[in-house]
Chain A
């Protein structure tokens, strides 16, 4: 079975909610939409206090090419445009909407009928995806239309669909593949058409045999789509690792991007969003969110309207346990610890993970014993111990030379370290500094 070639670890999978069908979550009383919930320029509000909006009404325009529009997920009145602390922990401008009823925009096709045919030209598909505010649903939230517009000199050769879901605990993509199989496959066909290729691979790890089987069976009816079972290994869902696993090509060090080796990578959730945007005229305003944790009464997968507070999801999964130590937006390997459970669900919210105080605490670090295990597991072929130590000493020249910018922050090094050293904390510090140094240097040129 295929997998990526360098490094990798096997965290405990803990897919507690894998058997739980997607349920629709109740509407919130107030929905909050941060204006920057994607990579790139923040969106620009086009509503003001007191405006009435429907489900699917555009409330903020894309703030540039690398940006995405934001749509209301509820009907009601704009309460205010203020700021809110989002999952990143920073306070950001946001639109607050008080919910009244559930009235949808007329243009949205709300039926469950599968629409297979699409007569649109590639450019029109990309435009429609852009107009629907679709971004990468795997967590990075990179605007999808940008990825579908290869820079000059680059040509796409294939579309790679990420159904890996290598983060422990998360099952949103898994459930989506089981319950929205045809919709995803049509979405993949649209993506192939958008970048003018006739080959797509869907990578799924072998711990989801039901999804592999179902997708393989149904993909037979679509031309050029191949399901590729992958050996379970973290971080296979990393874009570069997935490309390596499936087509045996390695994206060179930054600033190279996947399109440089001919690949366009999209998440299964994104493929589904593309289907809804193009075939159903439904902009991106809801998504599947896994709510999970060993201490939760009922780990679940919810179809959630954007802007819903995380606390409402946790309540629907049995409520926040008394001994909760940490609440994570995303999975345990790369997710962000939330300072409060009031943060709203955004386009990139794949999961909410609740950890008990005991699970949440880090062990005290011990001296590095130079066991080299971090070097062995680094999927980018770096030397995490060296990057961490040099970053701690502020040797920015050295860490840049040692390719710190190639780090994908997967956390495999720290996960493996017998001495419990907080390597990634220091590497992030180094990346931040070196990134700044590189930008300054390029600006001077």
Chain B
């Protein structure tokens, strides 16, 4: 008996957290937005989401098994499924299947597995997939169905998104802002857009859940949203006919989705609270700059992508407040 004791270093207990718990927690947090998208876009949203998840999980499994030749498959950790849903959330609900599969291949194959899989990727995989598709298939990626066509898929009527209207306003169309849906519709999700981005309410519910479960901290989402609110608020005050109100900015496009689910991706965001705040403020700022002054109506994904690249630098410069550095009171 005596020789069979395990000898290892402390700590001898563990809190019970795991990668799976965090990833499945994110999936649960995505459920409200998923339900809203099914309600608003019907069949198309179901087809796109399922295809994206299945494709992402398949590519991760296949690459791990046949190219990396690892014995342990990583698909059960839930990260591929999270990437799948987030990629789908960034697509219109009428996008053809083959485009989704290409997006999944870019997300998992190029952005994630090339760098060694979970934990090693410098860029958010779902974002890489989305940006690749946006640049490669600009037509299919920018025609969004009107809400409420539950039985349709690729044959649905499309409409202008609020962001497109806001862009027109900046370019001199004085009536554009008056055609925006009401703030309540924007908040609940009754407007054209990508599958998962339309309902600010559903996404905020996900945020509350993730904060409660301590999956993420408040620093990144709050700093992004606050920056956008302040920046667009100042411009709106300066010229309300050209620049949309801050609430319109907050509740439209990929801002909520990006701030809550994409920018908070563990692997590609900074490690300290100070770093997270800098990262969040920069994303908020870049998003508004691209939305208002850039050639694309939406800037969220580019802003996050750019800041992903700065994350290692932020980690080098932002250190936590060390114990003992606090000034004596």
- A residues with CB within 8 A of B: 5-6, 9, 11-12, 89, 168, 240, 244, 248-253, 256, 261, 320, 324-328, 330, 332-342, 353, 355, 357, 359-363, 366-373, 375-376, 378-383, 385-386, 403, 406, 409, 411, 414-420, 422, 424-425, 428
Contact = CB atoms under 8 A, between A and B. Distances in A.
Contact of B329 (A249, A336, A383): A249
Q: Name which of A244, A250, A325, A416 has the most chain B CB atoms within 10 A of its CB.
A: A250
A373 B12 contact: no
Given A249-B329, A332-B10, A337-B12, 17 more contacts: A6-B320, A330-B10, A332-B12, A333-B10, A333-B11, A341-B5, A342-B2, A362-B14, A367-B116, A370-B271, A372-B217, A379-B323, A380-B323, A383-B319, A386-B271, A406-B324, A428-B9
Q: How extensive is the interface on chain B, given as a class?
A: 35 or more
B77 A370 contact: no
B151 interface: no
A342 B5 CA distance: 12
Contact of B320 (A12, A326, A360, A381): A381
B326 interface: yes
Interface stretch (B16-24, B58-66, B131-139): B16-24
Given A341-B2, A368-B119, A373-B17, A250 B9 contact: no
A360 B6 contact: yes
A383 B10 contact: no
Nearest to B326: A250
B267 A370 contact: yes
Interface string B261-276: 0000011111111000
B321 interface: yes
Contacts of A425: 9
15 contacts: A9-B15, A328-B10, A332-B10, A337-B8, A339-B7, A357-B6, A368-B119, A381-B321, A383-B272, A414-B11, A416-B15, A418-B21, A418-B22, A420-B14, A425-B9
B14 A415 contact: yes
B71 interface: no
Contacts, number: 170
A338 B7 contact: yes
Contacts of A256: 324
Given A369-B19, A418-B19, A326 B323 contact: no
B69 interface: no
A422 B10 CA distance: 10
A433 to B, nearest CB: 16
Interface string B1-42: 111011111111111011101100000000000000000000
Contacts of B329: 248-249
Given A325-B5, A370-B266, A250 B323 contact: yes
A380 B322 contact: yes
A415 B118 contact: no
Contacts of B155: none
Nearest to B117: A367
Interface residues of B, dominant DSSP: loop
Nearest to B271: A372
A44 to B, nearest CB: 30
Contacts of B14: 362-363, 414-415, 417, 420
Interface string B288-329: 000000000000000000000000000000011111111011
Given A250-B323, A252-B324, A256-B324, A366 B13 contact: no
Contacts of A340: 2-3, 5
Contacts of A371: 22, 266
A326 B11 CA distance: 12
Interface in B247-290: 266-273
Q: Name which of A361, A363, A369 has the most chain B CB atoms within 10 A of its CB.
A: A369
Nearest to A6: B323
B10 A381 contact: no
B50 interface: no
A375 B272 contact: yes
A399 to B, nearest CB: 14
B17 A367 contact: no
Contacts of A372: 217, 266, 270-272
Contacts of A363: 14, 18
